[in-house]
Chains A and B, each alone.
Chain A
């Protein structure tokens, strides 16, 4: 390393001095400015950048909220009320943070769907995908513990129900639950450790996101056609092309986010969580936040608790082996006529599971959630391994630029005319 020391090429003397000694500017230049990126991304490719933005928003608002929050069962609820009423713009911080959790999951779920639809998990991006699943798991743990902190009724009872899941495991189950709680029920030690971990895990997520991006920059981005980059003509430098396109997405995203925060901040909150936690009174129906409802439905679809818990964990863990379950060499669903519809059906089954999760497991909801849970797992374990053998994919274009040119030459030119008129203006 020492022998290959090269002077930096930046002209600004300060930047040059730093960069020669610590090439952070060269790295940024290489990874975010000239980084060759397929030129045919659609707006689905915004969601990685959106997730990064949201992670930063959550950390900043979270640090400020933590300055005013008391992780003590006697004070937590009132300290949140104080944030909402007396801390300067505390209501704004809290609504951004609270709504932000939901926004984060929307973004990440779309990001994951993008990966599924365009086969971004396939060789050579398996590890990139698996690191992403780790981020999802960390996010879920962080969100769950964060929801406990306001110490409302749903905080308390949600924490009780979810931590109790571990008691389903034979022999080790009960000791694990006691260990998680730091006592014999959800109480002060539980709240303290949840607060500590809720503060820690986002920074772990930052580290894993760094690995996710590092792995991405080794293999390069997938694209809507799912074919490899063949020549420099297939790519554009990340900046200004994708910095500009991501900025559009970020603005639209922030607009939707702001409308919820400022005009309907209670849209996603459960009224029960405005009631202080009461260990002696169970709410009529304990439901998790919307982003956990599909897993909750999978859990409750099983007649046996241990079975339900295994299915619950399995529903996420199965994503780790997805790259080896899908036997088709074709990445993008555009060229997989059967997969395309079966994947959409899978999305429908997840949404229906979410609706089932919001209802008491009675009557039709049990049957529905069982059918959908069956399809959820069947899609991964049966359909994907077999489909690769039987499906006849459509012919793939020879390259990204060839496909782009054919699109342009073919039908009308939907976007060319306005672009020209803008250049005149």
Chain B
């Protein structure tokens, strides 16, 4: 029992040491949205993620790349291979060089990377007043606060309070550290029209696109949790069996 007590103290302390730095990093006030993928049983709301992909395609992808993504990955959102093929074919991407050594372009295939809006960092900065839009492939993992932070940015645009002096070319955002962000407000009410008639207020659009981005950052989550339950169940049974064996083995020894 004493051993267990010490082990518990150790674990709690380790947990504290890990948790405290996270608390120390302050940004704006994080919204607390209920996401469908939270918790050990949570899965992605695929309908919302598909709508989110539409938001990304129509809005975000004008400036933000998703270099780690390929069109084939979209089958994970519930699209059929035919749908993915059609969807990719509508996008023009660079296809290396032709026989004369000149760069060539053409329709994407499911194996193509998501089209990047700018060929390189310099082109992006030149077009966007010096700002570089971050790649969105792992943005949900790459920010303290994860999906709530990204949601907070997308819904956090407002008029600057009178006492804040805005720098040229920056926009006021309640979530962003420092509150001055180079991105103009990307989402507006009714900006995107969804085929399934879902709501398209700013919070709706932000919710859907964050669902898409969370899926893109961690596309294996559902499979991971499914395997996890089997592994945990197996180990619980193994622990019970092993403990029974241990008790049996030790039953003839005073210890």
Contact = CB atoms under 8 A, between A and B. Distances in A.
Interface in A180-229: none
Contacts of B7: 43, 110
Contacts of A251: 235, 238-239, 242-243
A191 B21 CA distance: 27
Nearest to A40: B255
Contacts of B251: 419-420, 422-423
Given A43-B7, A44-B3, A92-B224, A255 B253 contact: no
Interface in A318-358: 347, 351, 354-355, 358
A258 B228 contact: yes
Contacts of B14: 106, 290
B68 A42 contact: no
Contacts of B220: 84-85, 91
Nearest to B240: A251
Contact of A39 (B20, B24, B67, B255): B255
A263 B225 contact: yes
A263 B245 contact: no
A271 B10 contact: no
Given A263-B228, A358-B24, A244 B250 contact: yes
Interface stretch (B88-96, B99-107, B140-148, B160-168): B140-148
A408 interface: yes
A424 B136 CA distance: 62
Contacts of A305: none
Contacts of A401: 254
Contacts of A268: 18
A358 B228 contact: no
A81 B17 contact: no
A58 B14 CA distance: 21
A285 interface: yes
Interface residues of B, number: 55
B190 interface: no
Contacts of B3: 42-44
Contacts of A359: 20-21, 24
A354 B2 contact: no
Most chain B beta carbons < 10 A, residue from A290, A405, A420: A290
A251 to B, nearest CB: 4
B254 A404 contact: yes
Contacts, number: 141
A262 interface: yes
B18 A267 contact: yes
Nearest to B250: A241
B235 A262 contact: no
Interface of A is mostly: helix
B129 interface: no
Contact of B246 (A109, A247, A254, A274): A247
Nearest to A400: B255
Contacts of B232: 255, 258-259, 262
Nearest to A293: B17
A284 interface: yes
B191 to A, nearest CB: 28
B138 interface: yes
Interface residues of A, number: 63
Contacts of B239: 248, 251-252, 255
A423 B249 CA distance: 10
A44 B6 contact: yes
Contacts of A420: 251
A354 B13 CA distance: 9
A255 B6 contact: no
Nearest to B39: A263
A268 B228 CA distance: 18
A107 to B, nearest CB: 10
Nearest to A233: B254
B33 interface: no
A97 to B, nearest CB: 15
Interface string A64-83: 00000000000000100110
B73 interface: yes
B228 A262 contact: yes
Nearest to A106: B14
A347 B242 CA distance: 32
Interface in B128-163: 134, 137-138, 141-144, 146
Nearest to A359: B24
B142 A272 contact: yes
A39 B249 CA distance: 12
- The 9 nearest A-B residue pairs measured at CB: A262-B228, A358-B21, A274-B142, A354-B17, A251-B239, A274-B141, A351-B13, A244-B246, A255-B235
28 contacts: A39-B254, A40-B255, A43-B3, A44-B3, A44-B6, A78-B68, A84-B220, A92-B227, A106-B10, A106-B14, A248-B239, A251-B235, A259-B228, A262-B228, A262-B231, A266-B141, A268-B18, A271-B144, A271-B146, A274-B142, A274-B217, A290-B17, A347-B13, A354-B13, A358-B17, A359-B20, A359-B21, A420-B251
Interface of A: 39-40, 42-44, 78, 81-82, 84-85, 91-92, 95, 106, 109-110, 113, 236, 240-241, 244-245, 247-248, 251-252, 254-255, 258-259, 261-263, 265-269, 271-272, 274-275, 284-285, 287, 290, 293, 347, 351, 354-355, 358-360, 401, 404-405, 408, 418-420, 422-423
